């Protein structure tokens, strides 16, 4: 009987450890940056770019459709435009290694009237969202107990209701 209990405990611990790891990104899933924002390893070609609304995948639209709770944001109120902007966003450090803070260096000529920061799990479930004042893109801190790894989305809306967005995979705080 004691052997069965021990095997059961080992099984439960193993399953819980295995189930947590499926939520984690590998280094090959992220763009690796150091504490100064320098690229130091892998570059995910899809991370931290600016996309038109028409380039949104089904996964992206699933995320955007969750935003109409609390503060109303309906993606259908906006459209895709062909304007081309200078855009450079670096999120650092990634993986997050201290202070659970994700920092940003943003340079762009987008004149936006509304912006959102959105944090979702790997399966697209909304964790947090917040509005951003025009001309200001703040650093972001996520409670490591909420979600270790996450996808960080940003949305910019221009005065002519054009929507641009981007996202990046983040290996969250491990301390």
- At a CB cut-off of 8 Å and minimum separation 6, what does 161 contact? 77, 78, 79
Query: What's the pLDDT at 62?
Result: 95
Cis preceding-peptide flag for 93 (omega within 30 of 0):
yes
| Upper half-sphere CA count for residue 144 (Cβ side, 13 Å) | 13
Q: What residues are paired with 104 via a beta bridge?
A: 91
User: pLDDT tens per residue, the chain (175 residues)?
Assistant: 565 444 333 333 333 333 445 568 999 999 999 999 999 999 999 999 999 999 999 999 999 999 875 567 888 899 999 999 999 999 999 998 877 888 888 889 999 998 888 999 999 999 888 887 776 777 676 665 556 899 999 999 999 999 999 999 999 876 5
pTM over 0.85: no
Distance (Å, whole) CA 17 – CA 45: 30
Q: In order of start, what are the domains of the chain with their CATH numbers?
A: 26-171 (2.60.40.1930)
| Upper half-sphere CA count for residue 72 (Cβ side, 13 Å) | 3
């Amino acid at each position: 009987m004691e052997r069965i209990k021990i095997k059961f405990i080992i099984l439960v611990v193993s399953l819980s450890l295995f189930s947590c790891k499926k939520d984690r990104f590998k280094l090959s899933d992220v763009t690796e940056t150091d504490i100064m924002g320098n690229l130091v390893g892998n570059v995910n070609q899809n991370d931290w770019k600016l996309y038109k609304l028409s380039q949104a995948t089904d996964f992206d639209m699933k995320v955007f459709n969750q935003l109409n709770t609390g503060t109303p944001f309906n993606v259908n109120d906006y459209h895709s435009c062909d304007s081309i902007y200078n855009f450079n966003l670096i999120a650092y450090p990634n993986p997050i290694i201290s202070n659970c803070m994700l920092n940003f260096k943003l340079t762009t000529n987008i004149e936006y009237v509304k912006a959102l920061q959105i944090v979702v799990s790997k399966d697209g479930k909304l964790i947090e969202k917040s509005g951003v004042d025009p001309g200001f893109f703040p650093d972001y801190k996520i409670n490591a107990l909420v979600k270790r790894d996450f996808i960080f989305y940003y949305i910019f809306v221009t005065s002519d209701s054009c929507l641009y967005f981007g996202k990046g995979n983040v290996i969250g705080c491990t301390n």
